[in-house]
Amino acid sequence: MESGQEGQQLQLRNLTDQDLIASEHFWTEELGFDMARNHMRRWHLVDPEGFFGIFLGDTLIATGAAVKQTSELFFIGSIGVRESHRGKGLCRQIINRLFERCPEGTFALFAVPECIQMYRKLGFEIVDNGTAYVYGGRAATLPSDNIKSAFRFEVVDSNKPELVRRLIEYDARLHGFERPIGTTLIDDDDGSTVVCSMEGSIVGFVRIASSKRDGGAFIGPLYADYSEVAYLLLEDILVRNRAQAEISVSIFVSSRGGFLAEKLKLELRDDYPKCCTNPDRIPTMEVDKIFAFDSTDFAIC
C-alpha cells in the first residue's frame, strides 16, 4: 500500500479484538457518531474476519466492516476515514477488500445521505422501503409507571433457553433468515431484551442498550405483530429502565415506526436509506412488523 505522511507505510489489515478500543474511539471521538456501549464488540464476536482498518504506523485512520449474515449476504458498517486522509481512495480500498470475501455476494448498508452518490459509484442501489429514520434526544414524554395490559412481558436471558429458542424462531420468521441474536442481543451484559407474548405465543420483542456517549437509552430492534404491541413494548422497556431513558433516547425506526418516536417527542435527526449491491437477492422480510432497527451498522435490521 502507498506511503502516508512522513514516509510511514499505510497498512490495510483485519481488526482484532485488541483493535476495538481504537476503533470505537475513532468512531465516537474522531468522527462523532454515537453507538451502543458494546455494539462493535457484539458484531465483532459474530464475524471477526469481517472487520478491517487502515493504519498509518500504529494509528488507525480508516475502518470498514462487512458482517456475514448468511453465506452470501453481508451487512456493511463503520465505513469512515480520518478527515485529513479523505479523497485519496482509502474508502474504495476498504470496500473492495470487503467485496473480496465474497465477490458474488450481496452487500447492504444504511447510507448517510451525503454518501449516497459515493455508494452509487461503488455499485450500490437504494432499496425501496428500507430507510432508517434516526431519532434521538431528551424524550419530552415518558410513559407512567402503572401500565396495564393483557399481554405478558418478560425479560429474556440465557437462563431461559426455551424462551430464547422461541425468540430466535420469531425473529427469523419476521426477518427472513436466522440471526445470531444469542450473541448480539441476549448475551450482552449491557442492556436487556423484553419479549411480549399472547396466549403463549410471542407477538413482539424489544431491546434496550446504553449509549456510549451519555449512558442514555438505545432502543432497537423492535419487532411486533401489531403496532399496539410495538408501543406497549416501548413503554414497558422505558419504564423498566426509566433512569436511563430520562438521560436520552435514541432509536432508528422504519417507515412503520415513526409514531413511536413521535409519541416520545424525539427529534428526527437524519434518514439513512438502505442500499445494496443486488437488491433482488435481499431476503424477504415482514417489513410491516419491523418498527425499529437494531442499528444502522452491521445488522441488516
Ligand X SMILES: CC(C)(COP(=O)(O)OP(=O)(O)OC[C@H]1O[C@@H](n2cnc3c(N)ncnc32)[C@H](O)[C@@H]1OP(=O)(O)O)[C@@H](O)C(=O)NCCC(=O)NCCS
Nearer to ligand X, 153 or 298 (CB): 298
CB 21 within 8 A of CB 27: no
Nearer to ligand X, 89 or 161 (CB): 89
Where in 153-182 is the site for ligand X (CB under 6 A)? none
C-alpha cell at 29: 471521538
Largest CA distance in the chain: 67
Interface with ligand X (CB under 6 A), residue from 45, 102, 115, 127: 115
C-alpha cell at 41: 464488540
Rounded CA separation 253/219 (Å)? 9
| Binding residues for ligand X, total number by CB under 6 A | 18
Interface with ligand X (CB under 6 A), residue from 22, 45, 102, 118: 118
176: left (phi over 0), alpha (psi -120 to 50) or beta: left
Nearer to ligand X, 121 or 148 (CB): 121
Q: Identify which range of 9-17, 112-120, 169-177, 193-201 contacts ligand X by CB under 6 A.
A: 112-120
127 binds ligand X (CB under 6 A): no
Where in 65-84 is the site for ligand X (CB under 6 A)? 79-81
**Residue 57 beta carbon to ligand X: minimum distance, rounded to whole angstroms:** 18
**Residue 46 beta carbon to ligand X: minimum distance, rounded to whole angstroms:** 20
Nearer to ligand X, 112 or 198 (CB): 112
Where in 29-48 is the site for ligand X (CB under 6 A)? 31
Interface with ligand X (CB under 6 A), residue from 7, 104, 121, 284: 121
117 binds ligand X (CB under 6 A): yes
**Residue 118 beta carbon to ligand X: minimum distance, rounded to whole angstroms:** 4
Element containing residue 76 per DSSP (H, E):
strand 73-81
CB 197 within 8 A of CB 162: no
Rounded CA separation 181/175 (Å)? 12
Please provide the DSSP assignment of 236-264 as one string: HHHHHTHHHHHH-EEEEE-TT-HHHHHHH
Where in 82-111 is the site for ligand X (CB under 6 A)? 86-92, 111
- Half-sphere CA count of 283, side-chain side, radius 13 A: 19
Rounded CA separation 247/233 (Å)? 19
Interface residues toward ligand X, by CB under 6 A: 31, 79-81, 86-92, 111-112, 114-115, 117-118, 121
